[in-house]
Amino acid sequence: MATNVDRRKFLTVLGVSGGGAVALSGCSTDRVQKLVPYLVQSEDQVPGVPTWYASTCTECSAGCGVHVKTREGRAIKLEGNPAHPVNRGKLCARGQAGLQGLYNPSRVKGPMLKENGAWKEITWDDAIARLAQEVGKASGRVAVLSTPARGTFSDLLDNWVGAAGGTVTRWEPLDLEPVRMASRLVYDTDAVPGHNFAEAHFILGFGDFLETWNSPTEQQIGYAESHGFNGDAARHVQVGARRDLTGLNADEFLSAAPGTEAAVALAMANVISGGGSGPFASLIGEWTPDAAERASGVSAARITAVAREFAAASPGLAVAGGIAAQGDNALALAVAVAVLNSVAGNVGRTVLPAAAVPTGDGLAGMQRLMAAMDGGQVGLLMVHDANPVYALPKSYGFAEKMAKVPFKVSTGHFLDETAEACDLLLPNHHALERWDDLRARPGVTGLMQPVMEPVFQTRHTGDVLLGVARAIGGGFAQFTAASFEEHLKQAWAGSTGGDAGWRAALAAGGAWDGAPAPSSSAAAAPPPPTPAPAFAPPAAPAEGDFTLVAFPHAFLYDGRGANRPWLLENPDPVTKITWHPWAEISLETARRLDIRRGEIIRLVSDHGSMELPAYPYTGLHDRAIAVPLGFGHTSYGTFAQDAGPTPLDLIGPPGSTPWINYAGTRVQLEKTHGFKDVATTEGNPRQLGRGIAEAMPIEYARRGLTVKESHLAAGAGHHEINTPLEVEAIAGWREEQIEARKLGDYAEVHPAWGMSIDLSRCTGCSACVTACYAENNIPTVGYDDVLRGREMSWMRIERYWEGGEDGEPLEARFVPMLCQHCENAPCEPVCPVYAAYHTVDGLNGQVYNRCVGTRYCGNNCPFKVRYFNWYKYNEKAWPEPLHMQLNPDVTVRARGVMEKCTFCIQRIRGAQHDARLEDRQLVDGEFTTACAQACPSGAIVFGNRRDPASRVSEVSHDPRGYVVLEETNVRPAVTYLAKVLHAPEAGA
């Protein structure tokens, strides 16, 4: 245990060795353990009982509210705050992995000074004195680089830099600058408009809005409301060069050449406004469907038909998200989509132009900073919450310009590329260790409070600023607060009014005033934008040229998640690749150049080259090569190191556009004839008639047909699941089983735990996977063992391809697969030591301490949901202090033990214990599994199937309900609800 951890005053009974951190081998009693009590009784900690704190997620700029579960003074899990207007109790994989930022072994453990090129630990007093000295030396030439996130801290920073003399630049990668610029032009407001996905009857996407763009959890919640089947469902058509996760959820995908999405949007607006008349005539007049087809390759007939459907849906919703709004013609696309929403009458209904919010300075601000550094006008650079050395393309030359600054300071949590280039490190507290707030959007401010003592000797940057102010005095005399905590409370005193109000806001997780206020121009039809942004379709690439699409990784995003093993091991939803980057090429390109999966290809641009394993992908346009951002760190801790290159190295210096052109660089492809093993968790990507992921057309779903009736109605032949002999055998078995249920404890009335999963809502986002890892102490195994198929994900998302051949459209089906807790489980009778057995309450129990590791159960499981500990993953998956995240309620499994989904039995037993203490019955919905809790789509429902009034009973009886591999007669406790396919309307 790290030395400073030992000193923490929160040590307590279970603090002996990290709660559940001791592995199964802890039977032995010949070791003397210590019991270390608190000195003073903590008011809000009872050993063995979790304490929850409300806080705000800082993993992206969406500002979701979180509830932090702590045990014995340690944060062990993050869940959504149900009362928060942004994420309504849900949390994505990246948000949940915030915990691995807190406990990351690569965190800077205390203040450090670089002397002769080597880092030296110093004291905080010395560090603050040194910073004060350097601020004086810089004499008005202080530059601070920070994020666009706004709150009380950013106000303090502004004032502090004002007193020091200098500027604050606010910038982050993948900034939504083009969308905001379009808002300025079309809605006259400087903010990304609000999108009401839940009310939309037709969703037209021009880029990802489910993975990383803008506010993904909030958008997914709304998307599941409208696109999930509930009597009817919205249709979703996606336009783009790369079929990302959002594209795979679409009912129809129109593949446009990279950079030409705007032409499609303009042509659709042209169709809706009757041939391009009306206020936008100058913009859309020339973009007939035929012109758009010539530019983009999307057929004019489909453009016309989809446009008509979109207009008729009323309201529909068109979204310019994702990487299409970050590349060539991004501004033209954002404006075109705004116009499209306008002519279709969606503005004020599903598109809510928001009041302007102070945002970042965009790339223009960053360029000003770089010019100032280059020109020697910066005496002191302080980087707060940013990693520009990594996140800007190398061709921008940030590192070289930064080197010209005499003294550089970083307040980052990690020794990342930028911190490495600094002279002084003043590590800030993690968001879970500090007082702070975040203005997520107008009317919504989230609060953060320390949920535990700091893991390391870090210090709140607010306190550092105040300390420097005290040391310098003079112009800094205005900063009178003794600490940032006090400063924050003063700042809130006006709105919360006294201690009670402050406590209420803290408990709620912040303050918000209902729905965001739409700006005044919301209801009115927007005026035509002036000047109309020029849209020039990119020139057709030369022979052998491709367009690079550098898209944000679904979990690593811009690279900030790259040191979190949960995110690295969570398979990319599209390719199912873990732990390393890849280069997607189209099937046609792969065929033409004879490139196989895993073959290393070299990508060469005018600015650099790199080698990556190829992933031939049906969903990619022939002209594009897609590479995920997020890898390629040279300094970000052991998990991030040596993972492979980042496509940023191929992107050229800033052009005319005030945003980084993530999609538009010309690259050539060269074969190397080398191979890399692709660490994918995918088995067979096709269902091969096994009926794992069922789907039915929406007209059958509307009529209430079952899956079998739907197959018959679609013209499939009558198919008996079992032969007559099998049916007879099953009937005999059933009788025997009913007799067996009359024996012993089984005769009593117990709950029968079960689950339902609605595939029409599931988007494959994998939030449930991370929730399961967090709740159940599941170890990550790393690249080598994923290759051997030894990942331990109790909950996994299977992705099956349908069609995609012989001109059929490609369709993806996502199936969350976990232990099915079969009534007639094949794993149970084969266990020679009764480690796998059926509990009286319908669970397929797995007793770790009985298990001797024969693996017969795993061999006999038709779902492949049992996972074996081949190695001592428990000893290497959580390098200190990562082990502090472990859930003390769940045994950490050692080598040689089989494990699998338990339906979160610790939650079941915990709720039962609580109910017994209070002399009452369990109430349906008072607890749920970690996966169901996290699912932003609300696809997973858990409960007691024996209670006819429970939600899971109700949902499981939906006509769309089916069980996987029904012919095996294993009788799963998990009911899936078939996906609903919303094909273009007949004749359209």
Partner 1 sequence: MSREIIHNADISTAGADSIMRKYVLLAAGMGLAGIAALAVAGRTSDAQQSGPAVADSIAATVLAAGDTAGLPGLRQPIFFRHDIHAGQYKIECQYCHYSVAVSSEPGIPTLETCMGCHTAVSGTDSASRAEIRLLRTAWSEKKPIEWNRVHFLARHVHFPHANHIKAMGPNACATCHGDVARMPQVYKVNNVNNMGWCISCHIERKVTRDCTACHY
Those residues whose C-beta lies under 8 Å from the C-beta of residue 707, and which sit 6 or more positions away, are 694, 696, 960, 961, 962, 978
SS3 526: coil
- Residue 120 belongs to what H/E stretch? strand 118-121
Shortest reach from residue 516's CB to partner 1, in Å: 42
Q: Which is nearer to partner 1, 845 or 858 (CB)?
A: 845
Edge-to-edge strands, sheet with 112-115: 118-121, 112-115, 424-425, 407-410, 380-383, 142-146, 166-170
Picking from 175, 934, 212, 247, the residue whose alpha carbon sits closest to that of residue 556 is 212
Stretch that binds partner 1, among 77-85, 233-241, 276-284, 841-849 (CB under 8 A): 841-849
From 26, 162, 538, 541, residue interacting with partner 1 (rule: CB under 8 A): 26
Distance of alpha carbon 697 from the chain centroid = 29
Shortest reach from residue 929's CB to partner 1, in Å: 13
Binding mask 947-966 toward partner 1 (x if CB under 8 A, else -) reads: --------------------
Q: Which is nearer to partner 1, 671 or 913 (CB)?
A: 913
Q: Which is nearer to partner 1, 567 or 932 (CB)?
A: 932
Shortest reach from residue 829's CB to partner 1, in Å: 16
| 29 scored as a contact of partner 1 (CB under 8 A) | yes
Shortest reach from residue 14's CB to partner 1, in Å: 7
| 833 scored as a contact of partner 1 (CB under 8 A) | no
State the Cα–Cα distance between residues 604 and 32, nearest whole angstrom: 61
State the Cα–Cα distance between residues 242 and 250, nearest whole angstrom: 13
Q: What is the footprint of partner 1 within residues 260-299 (CB under 8 A)?
A: none
| 47 scored as a contact of partner 1 (CB under 8 A) | yes
State the Cα–Cα distance between residues 909 and 913, nearest whole angstrom: 6
| 795 scored as a contact of partner 1 (CB under 8 A) | no
Q: Which is nearer to partner 1, 635 or 906 (CB)?
A: 906
Q: Which pair of structure tokens corresponds to residue 117?
A: 């090129």
Shortest reach from residue 659's CB to partner 1, in Å: 50
CB under 8 Å, gap of 24 or more: what pairs does 848-853 form?
Answer: 848/24, 848/891, 848/893, 848/897, 848/899, 849/24, 849/27, 851/896, 851/897, 851/898, 852/896, 853/896, 853/897, 853/898
| 850 scored as a contact of partner 1 (CB under 8 A) | yes
| 49 scored as a contact of partner 1 (CB under 8 A) | yes
- Residue 219 belongs to what H/E stretch? helix 216-227
Binding mask 575-594 toward partner 1 (x if CB under 8 A, else -) reads: --------------------
Q: Are 624 and 546 in contact (CB under 8 A)?
A: yes
Alpha-helical regions (H) of 615-717: 698-702, 707-713
Stretch that binds partner 1, among 41-49, 100-108, 753-761, 945-953 (CB under 8 A): 41-49
Q: Which is nearer to partner 1, 42 or 483 (CB)?
A: 42
Shortest reach from residue 10's CB to partner 1, in Å: 11
Q: Which is nearer to partner 1, 783 or 848 (CB)?
A: 848
Q: What is the footprint of partner 1 within residues 731-770 (CB under 8 A)?
A: 745
Q: Which is nearer to partner 1, 580 or 838 (CB)?
A: 838
What pairs with residue 670 in β-bridges?
602
Shortest reach from residue 49's CB to partner 1, in Å: 5
Burial class (CB in 10 A: 0-12, 13-18, 19+), 596: exposed
State the Cα–Cα distance between residues 709 and 719, nearest whole angstrom: 11
SS3 797: strand
Stretch that binds partner 1, among 5-13, 245-253, 462-470, 569-577 (CB under 8 A): 5-13
Stretch that binds partner 1, among 46-54, 381-389, 548-556, 568-576 (CB under 8 A): 46-54
Q: Are 803 and 691 in contact (CB under 8 A)?
A: no
Stretch that binds partner 1, among 31-39, 113-121, 245-253, 921-929 (CB under 8 A): 31-39
- Residue 604 belongs to what H/E stretch? strand 599-604
| 341 scored as a contact of partner 1 (CB under 8 A) | no
From 845, 936, 961, 972, residue interacting with partner 1 (rule: CB under 8 A): 845
List the end-to-end C-alpha distance of the chain, in Å, as a whole number.
65
Q: Which amino acid does the sequence have at 856?
A: Y
State the Cα–Cα distance between residues 325 and 321, nearest whole angstrom: 6
Shortest reach from residue 411's CB to partner 1, in Å: 30
Picking from 530, 435, 565, the residue whose alpha carbon sits closest to that of residue 184 is 530
Stretch that binds partner 1, among 254-262, 785-793, 836-844, 969-977 (CB under 8 A): 836-844
| 403 scored as a contact of partner 1 (CB under 8 A) | no
| 920 scored as a contact of partner 1 (CB under 8 A) | no
Q: Which is nearer to partner 1, 24 or 355 (CB)?
A: 24
Shortest reach from residue 888's CB to partner 1, in Å: 9
Q: What is the footprint of partner 1 within residues 557-576 (CB under 8 A)?
A: none
From 511, 517, 532, 840, residue interacting with partner 1 (rule: CB under 8 A): 840
Stretch that binds partner 1, among 19-27, 417-425, 512-520, 669-677 (CB under 8 A): 19-27
| 3 scored as a contact of partner 1 (CB under 8 A) | no
Give the Å distances, CA to CA, from 349 to 237, 352, 521: 19, 7, 13
State the Cα–Cα distance between residues 660 and 648, nearest whole angstrom: 10
Shortest reach from residue 838's CB to partner 1, in Å: 10
Shortest reach from residue 750's CB to partner 1, in Å: 9
From 13, 493, 504, 740, residue interacting with partner 1 (rule: CB under 8 A): 13
Q: Which is nearer to partner 1, 273 or 777 (CB)?
A: 777
Q: Which is nearer to partner 1, 138 or 898 (CB)?
A: 898
State the Cα–Cα distance between residues 739 and 47, nearest whole angstrom: 44
Shortest reach from residue 30's CB to partner 1, in Å: 7
Give the Å distances, CA to CA, from 211 to 204, 220, 296, 536, 635: 16, 9, 24, 28, 26
| 848 scored as a contact of partner 1 (CB under 8 A) | yes
| DSSP letters spanning 811-825 | EEEEEEE-----TT-
Shortest reach from residue 902's CB to partner 1, in Å: 6
SS3 276: coil
Burial class (CB in 10 A: 0-12, 13-18, 19+), 840: middle
Picking from 392, 368, 558, 443, the residue whose alpha carbon sits closest to that of residue 191 is 443
Q: Which pair of structure tokens corresponds to residue 920?
A: 């009452």
| 46 scored as a contact of partner 1 (CB under 8 A) | yes
Q: What is the footprint of partner 1 within residues 860-919 (CB under 8 A)?
A: 889-892, 902, 905-906, 909, 913, 916-917
Q: Which is nearer to partner 1, 64 or 755 (CB)?
A: 755
Q: Total residues contacting partner 1 (rule CB under 8 A)?
A: 48
Q: Which is nearer to partner 1, 48 or 275 (CB)?
A: 48
Q: Which is nearer to partner 1, 671 or 741 (CB)?
A: 741
Q: What is the footprint of partner 1 within residues 679-698 (CB under 8 A)?
A: none
Q: Which is nearer to partner 1, 269 or 792 (CB)?
A: 792
What pairs with residue 620 in β-bridges?
242
| 638 scored as a contact of partner 1 (CB under 8 A) | no
- If phi over 0 gives left and psi between -120 and 50 gives alpha, with beta otherwise, what is residue 214? left
Q: Are 978 and 700 in contact (CB under 8 A)?
A: no
Q: How many residues does the chain have?
A: 988
Residues that bind partner 1 (CB under 8 A): 11-14, 16, 20, 22-24, 26-27, 29-30, 32-41, 46-49, 745, 837, 839-840, 843, 845, 847-850, 889-892, 902, 905-906, 909, 913, 916-917
